Amino acid sequence: NPEPKSQDALHGRSAMLRCEVSDAEGVSYSWLQNGDAVNDTERRFREGGNLKFTAVDRVLDAGTFQCLATNNATGEEERSTEASFNIKWLESGGVTLKDPASEQDIESSAPVTFRCNIDGHPRPTCHWYRDGVRLPEKSHQINNKERTLTLPSASPDNNGLYYCCAKNPAGHVCSNANFTLNIIDKSFPRPVVVPEDLVVMRNEEALLNCLFTAEPPPTQEWYHQDELVTNKSRLVMLNNGSLLITQVKPRNTGLYKCVAKGPRGLPVTLEATVNLAEIEEMGPSQSRVFSANSLERVSCRPPRGHPEPDVWWEWGGERVPSEGRVYQDGLELVFSPTQGEDSGLYTCVGQNKAGTRRQELTVTVANGSELPEHVVQTGGVLHFAKVTRDDAGNYTCLASNSPQGQITAAVQLTVAVYITFNMEPEHTTVYQGHTAILHCQATGDPQPFIQWKKKDKFLEPRKSRFQKMPNGSLVIHDVSVEDTGSFTCIAGNSCNIGHTSAELYVVEKPVHHSLEEDEKAPYKMIQTIGLSVGAAVAYIIIVLGLMFYCKKRRNAKRLKGPEGEEAETEHLNGGTVQTNGQATAEIQEEVALTNMGTTASSANNKRHSSHDKGPYPRANLTTITTLGKGEFGEVFLAKAKGIMSAGGRGSEDEEETVVLVKSLQTRDETLQLEFRREIEMFGKLGHPNLVRLLGMCREAEPHYLILEYAELGDLKQYLKMSKNKEEKPKSHHLSTKQKVGVCLQVARGMEHLSNQRFVHKDLATRNCLISAKRQVKVSALGLSKDVYNDEYYHYRQAWIPLRWLPSEAVFEDDYSTKTDVWSFGVLMWEVFSLGELPHAALDHDKVLEELREGRGKLPLPQGCPSRVYKLMTRCWASSPKDRACFNDIVSALSELPSESKV
């Protein structure tokens, strides 16, 4: 007592049959199933007198169970009444064809019956679905007892994916194998030949094959970019339904649709694309210096092209093998290990139907040889009497003494040749609709990379009318009046950049006049010449007048201003500024536009002017450590004596201040102007959340820009330390309020910067500093060459912070305050993700592709309030005019709870 009782059980679930006797002392229990002894298993075992089931099985646990109690002392046995399980179960099955016997026997307008092979106990109720939509029992022949679905007169309208679902007390399942009904109506168009995607050369023939069958035969049409194609001179629809394009032009590329229409059913559409074969130029030549007996890998970045180019490495005119000591692994050239004989010229080759592109790599394996005769070492300084190509390589300086041992420092010497133009473009006049050619060839070492620019925008090589030839010349097909203007050929390598310009004039083709008009021509010619000469004379007079006026104003300004202000006209290399060609003039104009509006507030900000800082003695700077390298040159920390004093000249007994020093070690005109722009920007701005310009050293090269520094370094490293919970001190954890406080400080600094009409261009946490008092200041460390090299991308001969820029800045070189707003949104994301790299899962090329397609937004950081993320998304609006301004950002952040003490 109690005895086991029959009960309901679910297949796969636990259950228990109970058994006890009134006097349990000296009694043992056993169980019988259908009269046979039950052995203990992991699934079914005795627990005291009870029989426990961890998972009831509808087959193994079928039948009757009895409990057998045995008195161990007397041997007396007692059996319980029989008990059994009413096991409820549900098992999935597939949908099968019941009638007709096979799919081949299915005919249009004949009945078709499907069977649902889901089974269970008790009998499950069944429901039928077609293409995910439940079929109602009222309008369909559904037999729940047989679990069948009958289509009395099946037709193509009934085509689709059929499946069933069933349920009972054991649960709910759907069929594990479904049935696709595909009844072919002969009046429906059926494809016989499917068009294929084509990639062809310009002016090559393209044939798109397409054929349908039906009874009666269907009508067939072609569409290009959703416009109906009709027979033209170069587009011909053949009798067999194919489309022939005799000479493929850029306007013939795109999506083509072959559409067939029959007397019944929907039109059937087949698609194919036609594209012109193309391949981009590869990057400029590179050089690498390796140590001997080391494992080295060099990656080749494949050129974009259509179709996808094949890429391989060559050495000595032969392909590098896929195995051996020097071998190719995917896109990488592997030296395993390097040897002296590996020095030489390697070429990465990209090739497709459009042509072949090459990028050269000069490899030098350092062998530790002695210095040549023309190189002299004097007091730790290496003097080259006359640099030769063989001097390129790695040089190691070794210093030692007996107490401390030795230290070494390595430096790489790259020997380059300045760019010279051996063919410059000439002013050209061409008739509208004709082809224009502007020649441009340059030499240098490494081999220069040539780009063309029209007015202030670089020409995209993908634009089919503009074609850059392998020798650098520019071919413009089908010229129009809009093409009139100045074209600049820019050649650059790692040594320098050169440019030369020419004018292109597009005129309408003259028409033949009547004899009467020809008689008037001489008079018209005289009239035209007279007007031209008169206009030229007037222009010269105006120019001379302006020159005289400007000279007079400049002289008056010199007499009026202090002596120190003349330094403003100095060139950063010590000479006067010279506008060397149109490109330089455009760059200067761009700088002027960036700084527009600062003159109006110069009276209020005069005490912050960069020229008031005056020169600072270079000898009073003591280098502490090098932070890294940027595009201008080295960036290092130094101690500056007396730089915070009123005079700022420095002296021996005055206090030392830790400062940030940026050096100008490049002769690139664009970078020199950018360096000058930073001097102007930080020199004229005065705000608690912007670093100050403390001084300049321009009496010798390299020039130094001395900026304020903060004790805790850059904000990115501070955020990363906050993320490392094991190493951070307890007080270093950042709350949400403190993160908002950081963003608010940066926003206030940028609000002031934008109100003065300046554009930062590289706003990120790596370019912000944080002090011991947790004050955040916007700076411009620009460590793009080593420390933060992975956060910059080499695009169009410039290193840009791709992951922090909107599309207009990347693709159109259009920088504005709204560019900085986008970057500020990314900075906020960095703060709330504690220094994570934006789009960390994507490589640079994928980020570039996402920007092209307008998908540059970042996901919601963990723990970021929704109001803050909404503000971020406002900063990332695709149109600059839809982005918030810094005044709005400061107001929005000020309304949120924040802590200024981070």
Distance separating alpha carbons of residues 899 and 740, to the nearest angstrom: 7
Residue 371 annotated as lining a ligand binding site: no
Residue 520 annotated as lining a ligand binding site: no
Distance separating alpha carbons of residues 442 and 182, to the nearest angstrom: 66
Q: Find the helix or strand (DSSP H, E) in which 371 lies.
A: none
Distance separating alpha carbons of residues 618 and 621, to the nearest angstrom: 6
CB distance 112 to 155 below 8 Å:
no
Q: At a CB cut-off of 8 Å and minimum separation 6, what does 612 contact?
A: 564, 606, 683
Residue 259 annotated as lining a ligand binding site: no
Q: Three-state DSSP class for 814?
A: coil
Q: At a CB cut-off of 8 Å and minimum separation 6, what does 501 contact?
A: 425, 486, 487, 488, 489, 581, 582, 583
CB distance 393 to 364 below 8 Å:
yes
Q: State both tokens at 190.
A: 């059926």
Residue 712 annotated as lining a ligand binding site: yes
In the block, which residue shows the tokens 């007499």? 559
User: What residues pair up with 640 in beta bridges, in sequence order?
Assistant: 621, 657
User: What residues pair up with 457 in beta bridges, in sequence order?
Assistant: 454
Distance separating alpha carbons of residues 850 and 443, to the nearest angstrom: 36
Radius of gyration over every alpha carbon of the chain, rounded to an integer in angstroms: 41
Helices (H) and strands (E) in the chain, counts: 11, 62
> Is 661 buried (19+), middle (13-18) or exposed (0-12) by CB count in 10 A?
buried
In the block, which residue shows the tokens 């309901």? 8
Residue 221 annotated as lining a ligand binding site: no
Residue 629 annotated as lining a ligand binding site: yes
Q: State both tokens at 748.
A: 């206030």
CB distance 591 to 677 below 8 Å:
yes
Helix axes 669-684, 582-594, angle to 10 degrees: 20
Residue 380 annotated as lining a ligand binding site: no
- Active-site positions read 762
Q: Find the helix or strand (DSSP H, E) in which 17 lies.
A: strand 15-17
Exposure of 532 in the CB half-sphere (CA atoms within 13 A): 6
Distance separating alpha carbons of residues 174 and 307, to the nearest angstrom: 45
Distance separating alpha carbons of residues 193 and 823, to the nearest angstrom: 52
Q: Three-state DSSP class for 824?
A: helix
Residue 633 annotated as lining a ligand binding site: yes
> Is 716 buried (19+), middle (13-18) or exposed (0-12) by CB count in 10 A?
buried
Distance separating alpha carbons of residues 369 and 506, to the nearest angstrom: 60
CB distance 776 to 715 below 8 Å:
yes
**Pairing relation of β-strands 305-306 and 278-279?**
antiparallel
Closest CA to 364 of 299, 413, 314, 324: 413
Residue 709 annotated as lining a ligand binding site: yes
3-state secondary structure 654-719: CCEEEEEEEEECCCCHHHHHHHHHHHHHHHHCCCCCECCEEEEECCCCCEEEEEECCCCCEHHHHH
Q: State both tokens at 67.
A: 């409990």
Q: Three-state DSSP class for 608?
A: helix
Q: Three-state DSSP class for 111?
A: coil
Residue 662 annotated as lining a ligand binding site: yes
In the block, which residue shows the tokens 């107001």? 891
**Pairing relation of β-strands 50-53 and 44-47?**
antiparallel
Residue 619 annotated as lining a ligand binding site: no
Q: Which amino acid is at 471?
A: N
Cα dist from 633 to 148, 225, 781, whole Å: 80, 51, 11
CB distance 331 to 300 below 8 Å:
yes
Residue 26 annotated as lining a ligand binding site: no
Residue 69 annotated as lining a ligand binding site: no
Residue 145 annotated as lining a ligand binding site: no
Q: State both tokens at 312.
A: 């391989």
Residue 766 annotated as lining a ligand binding site: yes
Residue 710 annotated as lining a ligand binding site: yes
CB distance 312 to 331 below 8 Å:
no
Query: Binding site for Mg(2+): which residues?
Result: 767
Query: Binding site for ATP: which residues?
Result: 628-635, 662, 708-714, 766
Query: Binding site: which residues?
Result: 628-635, 662, 708-714, 766-767
